[in-house]
Structure 1
């Protein structure tokens, strides 16, 4: 432990709305800081590319291609660090100690190309001060090799943290004369390249647990103060708050059931108008989750369809009505989504709903890649011929 030759770094981070964005300050061509420079304009803030592309539709394996695209425009750069530096919470192979970073102009370009409107607004609110200060920066080089850290303590002052919206680095402790980071931004990071100069895992988990418990208590205390000082202003939200707290209690005690989660989700969905359908990040998120769940069910649906075909091989031209087929072969959640999407809620007459079931069945057959009816086979053949 005492012979450790690498320097463990924890990058500072700023609040970027839905994401926390880690950064460094480039000083010249070969050095960097983790803290703000006292001399205005003497450093260039660079933002970690992995954080900028997180929670976007860009798949992780495609990140390097996107970084390279922005690098051609001088908005991103690939920084190779000296082998003496390692990064907590980042899986970086020791043989290739390099990371992609973006300038503030690159950060804004990524935000307006890939983020939702709400996330774009968060970037504007949190980073406009940096953009104004760095508006005259020259384009970045394609790559840099950094070997010198100008602030080896790597600590952020409380004043800097509060004034610039920077989330300060985790606390440090002394062990065997080495500086040890007692928390990590990515607790799942078990890479050997990053398991250096660290406290035992049990100690890390204990520290993190205490921090989380303290934060939860602060938030509950704040709620108590708000209800005590302004009870009337919270009256409309009280039922929803009570529902959430009751189910938090169930969750902590291991008694949360699916029906409880259903009530929570519905309460939050109905809590307010979340915006128009064309720009709703909430609907987009729900749609993505539903699509993933339905896609995961495809294999079990295929098995059910194959079993049905074997049973009806002799009467394939004389199948049951569309409503019976849809009910027998496809999950209720799929049918419910499509029925309400088509405007056929429970308020409509049974005859009206049944008259639309052939269309609903056809959609389910195509969406699940399981053709059953003759109409589906004919239409599918016609479509692929085109």
Structure 2
């Protein structure tokens, strides 16, 4: 590999499910690596990019190096310094050292079970258990490696060809599972202090990824057609929900999807089966998180309403309207609906019962939205703060 040439690489990635994707490389030996696994070439060690392993965790980005170093002391992570001629698409790396942190499969599992949600832990277990089994006897990683040579430039004759071709000036694509690897060699030297890999041209990569997604969508639609054609009786109870989903997809593609349509479909999915108990339901947790975020985003508009209300009633602050009227006037209907049903007060509950519970509901809404209106809320809040 000429020292004046620059090789741009896209690391292959493993879709773990949800929004988490982890990029990786294969360690061939202490000085070489691959982006493709070639079984007949001998054993390799998969290493997973530390930035992806720690993404969407509670650890702040500026604290990642400290955590990486901690895991490196246990042989679960390593700092890899690559040849100065290599550039990685989608990553910013100082050209002074051109290094990245990576984790072994054992390190990935350790981080997952210490820092991921239960659902993400399950996704890691389901997606990586075979890798973990195959690498069970791997030795602990060294604190650092210096990798000077990439062994799979994907020459046309073979994906696993180890001959380093100096005449590859064209863009080549190697298929690695479902991940597309871009390799571009440039003879122009890059003298910038820091290489902004995020600015590497992505048009061809995006086009190929779009084709893959489109192909997958078509395959799933064909599969659905085959299932419905071959065994119509066993899917009778599901047809209504399937129709709602397909209608929503059609409206979404046409740009005509409305909230009422989504409401009907989401409700049908929620009622489709028993999704588990309140203590272990990932669905309820997800809905709870989404609702909380929506309600939190409404806080500023609620505060404006409350402040306007206080200005209007400043002279009669000790003689406020009934709790039900206050709650209806100042807080979103969705908040009241959630709490009323949570408290067991459906629309069928007696008027007297609902009236008797509204002061409690109003108090919860005041505290949850950090907007105190009633005297009771002010007294209780002061008491709680003192404790």
TM-score by length of 2: 0.83
Corresponding residue of 2:85: 84
Q: How does 1:287-306 map to 2 (within 5 A)?
A: 287-306=288-307
* CA deviation after TM superposition for structure 1 residue 211, in Å: 3.5
Corresponding residue of 2:371: 370
Query: Quick check: 1:302–1:370 contact (8 Å CA) kept in 2?
Result: yes
Structure 1 alignment gaps of length 5 or more: 159-165, 180-190
- CA distance 1:173–1:10, shift in 2 (3 Å): closer
Corresponding residue of 2:326: 325
* CA deviation after TM superposition for structure 1 residue 92, in Å: 4.3
1:170 to 155, 158, 180: 180
- CA distance 1:272–1:58, shift in 2 (3 Å): farther
Corresponding residue of 2:7: 7
User: Aligned partners of 2:295, 2:9: CA distance in 1, in Å?
Assistant: 42
- CA distance 1:308–1:125, shift in 2 (3 Å): closer
Corresponding residue of 2:140: 139
Q: Deviations over 1:248-269 (max 9, x none)?
A: 1111111111111111211221
Corresponding residue of 1:184: none
Corresponding residue of 2:44: 43
User: Aligned partners of 1:215, 1:72: CA distance in 2, in Å?
Assistant: 42
Q: How does 1:192-341 map to 2 (within 5 A)?
A: 192-196=196-200, 198=201, 201=203, 206-341=207-342
Query: Quick check: 1:116–1:281 contact (8 Å CA) kept in 2?
Result: no
Q: Deviations over 1:7-46 (max 9, x none)?
A: 1222223343433332111233332111225368743211
Corresponding residue of 1:149: 150
Corresponding residue of 2:168: none
What do you get for the CA RMSD once the two structures are aligned? 3.1
Query: Quick check: 1:9–1:154 contact (8 Å CA) kept in 2?
Result: no
Instruction: Answer yes or no: is 1:23 the counterpart of 2:24.
Output: yes
User: Aligned partners of 1:280, 1:60: CA distance in 2, in Å?
Assistant: 30
User: Aligned partners of 2:75, 2:182: CA distance in 1, in Å?
Assistant: 36
- CA distance 1:167–1:42, shift in 2 (3 Å): closer
User: Aligned partners of 1:88, 1:238: CA distance in 2, in Å?
Assistant: 45
User: Aligned partners of 1:354, 1:72: CA distance in 2, in Å?
Assistant: 62
Query: Quick check: 1:78–1:101 contact (8 Å CA) kept in 2?
Result: yes
- CA distance 1:14–1:291, shift in 2 (3 Å): same
| Number of residue pairs the alignment of both structures matches | 362
- Greater CA drift, 56-65 or 302-311: 56-65
User: Aligned partners of 1:126, 1:208: CA distance in 2, in Å?
Assistant: 21
Query: Quick check: 2:91–2:197 contact (8 Å CA) kept in 1?
Result: no
Corresponding residue of 2:126: 125
TM-score by length of 1: 0.83
* CA deviation after TM superposition for structure 1 residue 207, in Å: 4.3
Structure 2 alignment gaps of length 5 or more: 161-175, 188-194
